[in-house]
Amino acid sequence: MNLDWMVFKRVLRSGAKNFVRGGAVSAATVLIMTVTLAIIGTLVFLSALLSFTLNTIKEKVDVSVYFVTTAHESDILAVKDKLETLPQVASVSYTSADVALATFRERHATDELTLQALDELGGNPLDASLAIRATDPEQYESIVNFLEATPALSAEGASIIDRINYAQNKDVIDRLALAIRATREVGLFIVLIFALASVLIAFATIRLAIYSSRDEIAVMRLVGASNAYIQGPFIVAGIITGVVAGGLVLLLFWPASWYAGAKTVSWLGGFNLASYYLSHLPLLFAILMGSGIVLGALASMLAARKYLKV
């Protein structure tokens, strides 16, 4: 135990010294790693922006159920309660006929002709309605199927549902669902490609840095050092590289997101990069530091191992 601790301390110290004495090579490795992590960080922002946009679009879609004018409010609310128990339903909002009329009048306040026509009709020609929002656009069909399979009936036994505007919206909803799914998949694919490319570049850089130490590794073997004792300091130096690069990226992202956020907030439909950075700092920290440490350690371990077969 004591011996292990001594070895651990030596490996840490030696790794830190190697990193500091590495000079230009260490600096270059940190630089490349910083670029790699910056790409990974940007991808985090991009995927957040993508989900934000998709959610905004999703929220604009709903299906409305219109009830016959004779339907009792209690019957409509019973339908609402039933709908809310469905797992695929995110929310249901009730608009009574009176509220619908008031909204209609307000919207057409400057349109004399329409208001006049409405007055001439007498009474309230508008239906009460339920606006249903699904957790996922692909779920609308099953919600509509549910409504059709379990018809809401009045006390007299007649259906109180006048119409559901799903049929005319179906095409748009289907296309949107497809677009969202495709964007997700393509987005994920692009993110993975970029992440992979940057990881490979970081790997190659670290390998190159360790390549210059291959003679040194051979000498360490011949002097009687164990493989773990030789690899250890390289891994420590790799981890330091990752941590320094991760810290640099976090530092750089703060002014960058603040500047870019102020410029793009209206253009991105209300998505503010700076507030995303602040509210997701722990996540960004974990992703950047985690990737930096894993990348640095793994690349160093694999690269050093190549020269250990002496």
Partner 1 sequence: MIYFDKVTKNYNGNGAAVEDVTLSIAPKEFVSIVGHSGAGKTTLLKLLLAEERPTEGNVFYESIDLNDLPLSALHHYRRKIGMVFQDFRLIPNKTAYENIAFAMEAAGRTDEEIRTDVPYILELVNLSDKAMHFPSQLSGGEQQRIGIGRAIINQPEIIVADEPTGMLDPINTYDVVEILKKINELGTTIIITTHNKGVVDAIGRRVVTMDRGKIVRDDNQGQYAL
| Nearest-approach distance from CB 205 to partner 1, in angstroms | 18
Q: Is 7 in the site for partner 1 (CB under 8 A)?
A: yes
Q: Is 137 in the site for partner 1 (CB under 8 A)?
A: no
Size of the site for partner 1 (CB under 8 A): 22
Side-chain half-sphere CA neighbours of 188 within 13 A: 6
Strand partners for 129: 66, 95
Q: Is 18 in the site for partner 1 (CB under 8 A)?
A: yes
| Nearest-approach distance from CB 11 to partner 1, in angstroms | 9
**Among the candidate windows 16-24, 123-131, 133-141, 241-249, which touches partner 1 by CB under 8 A?**
16-24
Q: Is 305 in the site for partner 1 (CB under 8 A)?
A: no
**Among the candidate windows 37-45, 105-113, 133-141, 214-222, which touches partner 1 by CB under 8 A?**
214-222
Helical ranges in 150-226 per DSSP H: 166-211, 214-222
Q: Is 216 in the site for partner 1 (CB under 8 A)?
A: yes
Q: Is 1 in the site for partner 1 (CB under 8 A)?
A: no
Beta carbon nearer to partner 1, 64 or 227: 227
Complete DSSP assignment for 102-124: HHHHHHTTT-HHHHHHHHHH-S-
Q: Is 60 in the site for partner 1 (CB under 8 A)?
A: no
| Nearest-approach distance from CB 308 to partner 1, in angstroms | 9
Side-chain half-sphere CA neighbours of 48 within 13 A: 18
Task: Work out which of 163, 214, 221, 280 binds partner 1, going by CB under 8 A.
Answer: 221
Beta carbon nearer to partner 1, 220 or 297: 220
Task: Work out which of 1, 149, 282, 309 binds partner 1, going by CB under 8 A.
Answer: 309
Give me the phi and psi of 158, to 5 degrees please. -95, 150
Q: Is 270 left (phi over 0), alpha (psi -120 to 50) or beta?
A: left
Nearest CA to 159 out of 64, 92, 79 is that of: 79
**Among the candidate windows 111-119, 197-205, 219-227, 277-285, which touches partner 1 by CB under 8 A?**
219-227
Residues near 95 by Cβ (< 8 Å), separated by ≥ 6? 103, 128, 129, 130, 131
Beta carbon nearer to partner 1, 80 or 221: 221
Task: Work out which of 52, 104, 146, 229 binds partner 1, going by CB under 8 A.
Answer: 229
Inter-residue contact 42 to 258 (CB < 8 Å): no
- 5, with CB counted inside 10 A (0-12, 13-18, 19+), is exposed
The one-letter amino acid code at 277 reads Y
Q: Is 306 in the site for partner 1 (CB under 8 A)?
A: no
Q: Which two tokens stand for residue 194?
A: 């970029």
Q: Where does this chain bind partner 1 (CB under 8 A)?
A: 3, 6-7, 10, 17-18, 21-22, 215-216, 219-227, 229, 309-310
